[in-house]
Structure 1
Amino acid sequence: MIGDLKPYADYRDSGLDWLGSIPAHWGLLRAKRLFREVDERSKTGKEELLSVSHLTGVTPRRLKNVTMFMAESNVGHKVCRPGDLVVNTLWAWMAALGVTRHAGIVSPAYGVYRPVEGGGMLPAFADHLLRTPLYAAEYQRRSTGVNSSRLRLYPEQFLRMPVLLPPPDEQAAIVRFLAWANGRLDRAIRAKRKVIALLTEQKQAIINRAVTRGIAEAVQLIPSGNSLLEHIPADWELSALRRRWQVLDCKHLTVPFVENGTPLASVVQVRNFTLDLSSCKRTKPEWFRQLIEGDRRPKRGDLIYCRNASVGSCAIVDTDVEFAMGQDVCLIRSRDQNQRFLNYVLHSPFMKRQLDLLLVGSTFKRINVSDIKALTIPVPPKVEQDSICNYLDTELSRFDVATGRIAREIDLLREYRTRLIAGVVAGTFDVRTVVKTLPDEEVADLLDEPVDEADDADLVDEATEA
């Protein structure tokens, strides 16, 4: 059915270069004709705290793994009601906004806009339209600030924006069609993610076997004395991490970010086995020099370990590029052990069980450097560490190829969905005929079904929270 979509019969020039031609019968009104800013404040701070991000729109914060600073009190937060448009003022240019389906409170730095009575904009249509790349680019042009990390979309600028307004019945048809299309795409994405989960489970089993028992077919085992690992090879030992490795915490400095500067490795950069600085923030040279004081300059072969948010994520430094540790990470190094072996151990189910015990009852997912130093590590002789790493590098490569291929397929489906939504809400495609053929029962179910979220949504959300 998606392939049956056709353009409208008649278009007219919108008069705006960024918007181009629009269906001839659609309206185009400034946002102030459709929304009004509201500034209702919480007197108790007890309402549901909501999160606003470019990935998931407006959602209850309790459902997300956002670990940024939490205020001692939410008194004075802005109140929003179902149907309100909530805009993350600082990150609007990334489309960090959405129409809320929940009553609750949001950061006092956010903008809350309530639909004007009789304005004619359906909340669900507004949520689709105002989060498109087309509008995100216009938010960026209308935002003010010294650089991209400081851009803000103020209410007066937002309320001046031209907003597309199809007739109400056509908005309803668009919402219905997108619910159906998103449902089909979401099911396809979830099926692929299940395959990735199964491959990851197999990969974890291989890692765990190798780093706790070795790779030899026949091996003499002895009691380990540890309840999480009953036996280990006879020539291995269980050791506290601090006995073989040095752990250096980050400097806990709040540094300014700049467009062009020295890279900073924080939580997002350690999501994979190897450190990824491609999307990192940067700071000035003078701050870099302070961050690397006390032998904290990362070197090739070091491990960068996350002790907050995604606790236990760890990546090996496989670059000679000069960078510093940002917040919430620490550095692990050794002169005589195989760092890749330790990285595999830190990625194993055996290690996850240790971390789970450490975090029992914790309000926030965070561990201290002393906890990291006390982690129990199975330590084989160095020559066996090397052999295990060579085996795992080879054995796991086929899993990485398979999961990488499926992940790219998921990315393509998400990109297709973005283009489809943008085309439909901007009037490139006419859905009125197609939507009449959709089964009522299926669409009704999908209207309340959550949209697929990226695996790393929570990590990215941290960058788009106030």
Structure 2
Amino acid sequence: MDNFVSMPKYETYRNSNIQWIGEIPTKWNLKKAKWLFYKVERKPLVNDEIVTCFRDGQVTLRKNRRIEGFTNALKEHGYQRICKGDLVIHAMDAFAGAIGVSDSDGKSTPVYAACIPRKKGTINSYYYAYYMRNLALSGFIESLAKGIRERSTDFRFNDFAELVLPFPNYKEQTLIANFLDIKTSQIDETISIKQQQINLLKERKKIIIQKAVTQGLNPNVPMRNSGVDWIGKFPEHWQLKRLKYVTKIVKRIIGYEGPDVLSITKKGIKIKDIESGEGQLAMDYSKYQIVKIGDFAMNHMDLLTGYVDISKHEGVVSPDYRVFINTFDGLEDEFLLSIFQLGYQQKIFYRYGQGVSFLGRWRFPAESFNNFYIPIPPNDEQISIVKHVKAEWDKLDKAIDLLASQIGKMKEYKTALIDSAVTGKIKIVPEMMEQ
């Protein structure tokens, strides 16, 4: 990553007298957006497909990204035509970065503003897409929108039209936009590679725990068929038991307000900060169930995003969650936890679930829970397996954390590079395109 200090600067700067702009290169002008762009409203064509403006700044046909997870309008009232090259501003999501130049012809909801330059050859829409997304990600658009309409983050064309924007000459706009296209693509590619490496390491973690808890650590022991799909063959000397013979579901309603409310996360069971008002809150915590130190607690109502852990805290959890205890002398808590965490990670429990998955309500019924088979090695092997998995996971987690840190720094650099280029803090020259 290049150091900004070594990058070229403009010879002189001047005060723009605009709070959100600050200093700009002396030769740059200032203009309100309404003198640069106008809003177009076109009737869609019969065969036009839906164009979506995403929060990462891509404006493209919906089918180019994904086809699931969208709400389809029953009636496309007020839909408009979007043309390739339009600067598109999503009124409701602009604050989060949903501003960009469309790469496709199609149609969109009237919530979008399709903008085109007033004078061709003087305004580069790609430069202004970068500039406006930079404003959005700095929090400026959200604060501006809330200042105009209380409790609203809408950023409409009329709001955009009144903004004073830097106006470099067309050659500079184009040079900046092209430079950022190249550099951000390079950064994104590097981030993508590192994310793939993280995904491979996470898959490696799953393989390690799956192999350890179903096959043990000695590859030379005789094996037998378990008759259970997720276990397959397992060591001949291990036991196979249903959960109802080794655990007990407990439900102890607290009956009063006051105890700590616990939250089940992928990083453990934590005490919830009720005062912050964040996350899901209940009207009446007296109906919550007790969790004691050493109890297992799992969010069995959502087998995709839920999790399970052994509680290190006294408190209460939702009555919809499942609290259970280990009742089998020959079963180590940490080994049992490994099996349960594997059940979430590999979506094993998902196969036994019921509900409406697309609404996030895919639960693990008590009957399926009680009849779920688990392998049980001798105690000494359980302890060795837990130690082995922890040691291997610690190594992989360090590698994952390092890659995640590198990705974070690259994202910060990308944001800073865009900001420096579009605001004139650095001067983009043709030679920089080849570096």
CA distance in 1, matches of 2:246, 2:47: 47
Q: Match of 2:254? A: none
> What is the aligned residue count?
410
Work out whether residues 353 and 363 of structure 2, in 8 Å CA contact, stay in contact via their aligned partners in 1.
no
Question: TM-score, normalization: structure 2?
Answer: 0.74
Work out whether residues 134 and 415 of structure 2, in 8 Å CA contact, stay in contact via their aligned partners in 1.
yes
2:394 is equivalent to residue 400 of structure 1 = no
CA distance in 2, matches of 1:401, 1:125: 39
Q: Match of 2:172? A: 170
Written as runs of structure 1 = structure 2, the 5 A alignment for 1:240-389 is: 272-274=266-268, 283=277, 288-290=282-284, 293=287, 295=289, 301-304=296-299, 307=302, 311=304, 314=307, 316=309, 320=313, 331-336=321-326, 338=333, 340-349=337-346, 351=347, 355=350, 364=358, 368-369=362-363, 374=368, 378-380=374-376, 383=379, 388-389=385-386
Between 1:181-190 and 1:398-407, the stretch displaced more is 181-190
CA distance in 2, matches of 1:302, 1:426: 51
2:236 is equivalent to residue 236 of structure 1 = no
Q: Match of 2:71? A: 70
Work out whether residues 125 and 175 of structure 1, in 8 Å CA contact, stay in contact via their aligned partners in 2.
yes
Q: Match of 1:5? A: 7
Q: Match of 2:50? A: 48
Q: Match of 1:430? A: 427
CA distance in 1, matches of 2:275, 2:104: 33
Which amino acid is the alignment partner of residue 236 of structure 1? Q
CA distance in 2, matches of 1:390, 1:160: 63
2:124 is equivalent to residue 122 of structure 1 = yes
CA distance in 2, matches of 1:407, 1:396: 16
Question: TM-score, normalization: structure 1?
Answer: 0.70
Between 1:65-74 and 1:157-166, the stretch displaced more is 65-74
CA distance in 2, matches of 1:34, 1:89: 19
Q: Which runs of 5+ in 1 are unaligned?
A: 249-261, 440-466
Work out whether residues 288 and 317 of structure 2, in 8 Å CA contact, stay in contact via their aligned partners in 1.
no
Q: Match of 2:257? A: none
Q: Match of 2:133? A: 131
Cα deviation, residue 197, structure 1: 3.5
CA distance in 1, matches of 2:283, 2:206: 38
CA distance in 1, matches of 2:301, 2:66: 15
Between 1:82-91 and 1:282-291, the stretch displaced more is 282-291
| Secondary structure of 1:400 counterpart | helix
Written as runs of structure 1 = structure 2, the 5 A alignment for 1:195-234 is: 195-215=197-217, 219-233=221-235, 234=237
CA shift digits 1:338-368 (9 cap, x unpaired): 463244322454x46x758999xx9958563
CA distance in 2, matches of 1:134, 1:430: 22
Cα deviation, residue 75, structure 1: 1.9
| Secondary structure of 2:165 counterpart | strand
Work out whether residues 50 and 106 of structure 1, in 8 Å CA contact, stay in contact via their aligned partners in 2.
yes
Cα deviation, residue 85, structure 1: 3.3
CA distance in 2, matches of 1:71, 1:305: 30
CA distance in 1, matches of 2:101, 2:79: 15
CA-based RMSD of the aligned residues comes to 4.7
Cα deviation, residue 28, structure 1: 1.8
Work out whether residues 305 and 312 of structure 1, in 8 Å CA contact, stay in contact via their aligned partners in 2.
no
Which amino acid is the alignment partner of residue 19 of structure 2? D
1:17 aligned residue (4, 16, 19): 19
| Secondary structure of 2:8 counterpart | coil
Work out whether residues 45 and 74 of structure 1, in 8 Å CA contact, stay in contact via their aligned partners in 2.
no
Q: Match of 2:86? A: 84
Q: Match of 1:179? A: 181
1:84–1:385 CA distance, 2 compared to 1 (3 A)? farther
Cα deviation, residue 159, structure 1: 1.9
Which amino acid is the alignment partner of residue 302 of structure 1? A
CA distance in 1, matches of 2:300, 2:148: 32
Q: Which runs of 5+ in 2 are unaligned?
A: 252-259, 328-332
1:363–1:163 CA distance, 2 compared to 1 (3 A)? farther
Between 1:63-72 and 1:28-37, the stretch displaced more is 63-72
Cα deviation, residue 208, structure 1: 1.0
Work out whether residues 95 and 139 of structure 2, in 8 Å CA contact, stay in contact via their aligned partners in 1.
yes
CA distance in 1, matches of 2:425, 2:308: 44
CA distance in 2, matches of 1:58, 1:264: 41
Which amino acid is the alignment partner of residue 429 of structure 1? I
Between 1:219-228 and 1:12-21, the stretch displaced more is 219-228
Cα deviation, residue 29, structure 1: 1.6
Q: Match of 2:255? A: none
Work out whether residues 145 and 152 of structure 1, in 8 Å CA contact, stay in contact via their aligned partners in 2.
no
Identity within the alignment, %: 19
Work out whether residues 43 and 75 of structure 1, in 8 Å CA contact, stay in contact via their aligned partners in 2.
no
Q: Match of 2:411? A: 414
| Secondary structure of 1:130 counterpart | helix
Which amino acid is the alignment partner of residue 7 of structure 2? L
CA distance in 2, matches of 1:426, 1:184: 21
Work out whether residues 38 and 118 of structure 2, in 8 Å CA contact, stay in contact via their aligned partners in 1.
no
| Secondary structure of 2:409 counterpart | helix
Q: Match of 1:103? A: 105
1:333–1:357 CA distance, 2 compared to 1 (3 A)? closer
